[in-house]
């Protein structure tokens, strides 16, 4: 009808404007982190007397302002412990035999590369070569950890797609819940098997790593199930933003959270892809060190998703019951056992 044309054109304008804004946000989310990447408070340890430690800290600050957070370690053994506990990415050991650098490429290949460059620069200043020891490297079959970095998007997309497929094809909340649990378990086992035995990226305990992957997939899938059930299609959009639009580029899997723009790396660790990546890294390479933080983040997403899903299912059941009550045939209170909907004529003159 002619009177509906203005409303239709307004709708087109709103949709086009919204899509353009979405593309801008998408480009910003994927392009800004690499463009503005660099070290931000990367924790490193230094072994030496207080004056030497301060000199190193001052030198790092001058070369990269705000780039490194230096802490003092009593000895090389303590420095190694800090690295394996994931409290530091590396350590500079200043000893009588000369300085040496400890790194852990499995914690972040990008940070390890930067620490190697720091060792080279310090060696040039000292006129000597500073040896570098990798205390926790990636397995030989995947020395750069490419398989781990490549797993971020499948984890995010897998949980999102699984939830959408379950909502579209499976009827009944119990069946959908069972499907989500089953997919998380099977997906975790399959994904870990592929990365560990197919790519050679993981070399830790398979079952523990698979459990970490299953928790990440479950958190993503339940987040989408809960958002969609409670909020409708808007929930799918919010889930896509959290898991894909922001979660993937801010996960830090390809580099490290401390190498992303200040604040963005921290945000990424509170989203499922970033938390899943950090949990997998801790479990697969560091015997679970520093796994509590990302594990709690994923548990929070999982719990919130389940609660939203339960609330949405309960609300849908209440609406269905209300509709059924409104559509039910009504019987006059005076009809007794007479036919429903037929007014009683008893006592009429």
DSSP string of 66-129, one letter each residue: T-EEEEEESSHHHHHHHHHTTS-SEEEE--TT--EEEE-TTT-HHHHHHHHHHHHHHHHHHTSP
| β strands within 233-316, DSSP E | none
**Among candidate residues 230, 247, 233, the one with its CA nearest the CA of residue 164:** 233
pLDDT of res. 6:
72
Banded model confidence at residue 26, pLDDT cuts 50, 70, 90? low
Alpha carbons 81 and 87: distance in angstroms, whole number = 9
> pTM for this structure?
0.84
The residue-averaged pLDDT of 140-158 equals: 81
Report the run of H or E that residue 46 belongs to, with start and end: strand 42-47
Say whether 299 sits in a helix, a strand or coil. helix
In the chain, where the domains are located? 42-134, 146-321
Q: Which residue has the higher pLDDT, 27 or 227?
A: 227
State the chain's mean pLDDT as an integer. 85
The tally of CA atoms less than 13 A away on the side-chain side of residue 116 is 11
> Where is average pLDDT lowest: 12-16, 58-62, 189-193?
12-16
pLDDT at residue 345 greater than cutoff 80: no
Gyration radius of the chain's alpha carbons: 28
**3-state SS track over 224-242:** HHHHHHHHCHHHHHHHHHH
How far is it, in rounded angstroms, from Cα 14 to Cα 234? 16
**pLDDT band for position 22 (cuts 50, 70, 90):** low
Which alpha helices (DSSP H) does 127-255 contain, by range? 146-150, 152-169, 173-193, 206-231, 233-240
101: β partners: 92, 132
Model pLDDT, residue 148? 87
Contact predicate 224/235, CB 8 Å: yes
- The CA distance from 104 to 134, in Å, is 5
Report in angstroms the alpha-carbon separations of 60 from 117, 289, 302: 12, 27, 40
**pLDDT of 36 above 90:** no
């Amino acid at each position: 009808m002619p009177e509906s044309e203005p409303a239709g054109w307004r709708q087109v304008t709103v949709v086009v404007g919204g899509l353009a804004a979405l593309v801008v946000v998408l480009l910003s989310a994927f392009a800004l982190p690499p463009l503005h990447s660099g070290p931000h408070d990367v924790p490193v340890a230094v072994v030496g007397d207080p004056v030497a430690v301060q000199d190193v800290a001052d030198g790092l600050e001058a070369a990269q302002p705000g780039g490194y957070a230096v802490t003092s370690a009593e000895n090389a053994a303590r420095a190694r412990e800090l690295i394996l506990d994931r409290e530091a990415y590396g350590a500079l050991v200043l000893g009588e035999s000369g300085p040496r650098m400890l790194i852990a490429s499995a914690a972040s290949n990008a940070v390890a590369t930067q620490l190697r460059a720091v060792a080279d620069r310090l060696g040039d200043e000292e006129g000597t070569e500073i040896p570098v020891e990798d205390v926790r490297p990636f397995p030989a079959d995947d020395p750069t950890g490419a398989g781990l970095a490549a797993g971020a998007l499948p984890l995010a997309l897998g949980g999102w797609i699984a939830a959408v497929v379950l909502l579209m094809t499976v009827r009944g909340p119990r069946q959908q819940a069972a499907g989500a649990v089953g997919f998380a378990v099977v997906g975790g086992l399959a994904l870990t098997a592929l990365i560990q035995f197919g790519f050679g990226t993981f070399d830790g305990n398979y079952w523990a790593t698979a459990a970490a992957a299953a928790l990440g997939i479950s958190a993503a899938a339940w987040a989408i199930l809960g958002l969609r059930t409670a909020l409708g299609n808007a929930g799918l959009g919010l889930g896509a933003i959290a898991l894909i639009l922001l979660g993937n580029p801010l996960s830090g899997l390809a580099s490290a959270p401390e190498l992303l723009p200040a604040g963005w790396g921290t945000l990424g660790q509170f989203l499922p892809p970033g938390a899943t990546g950090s949990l997998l890294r801790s479990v697969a390479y560091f015997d679970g060190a520093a796994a509590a933080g990302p594990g709690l983040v994923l548990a929070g997403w999982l719990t919130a998703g389940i609660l939203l899903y339960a609330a949405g299912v309960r609300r849908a059941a209440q609406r269905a019951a209300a509709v059924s009550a409104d559509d039910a045939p009504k019987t006059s209170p005076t009809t007794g056992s007479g036919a429903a909907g037929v007014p009683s004529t008893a006592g009429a003159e």
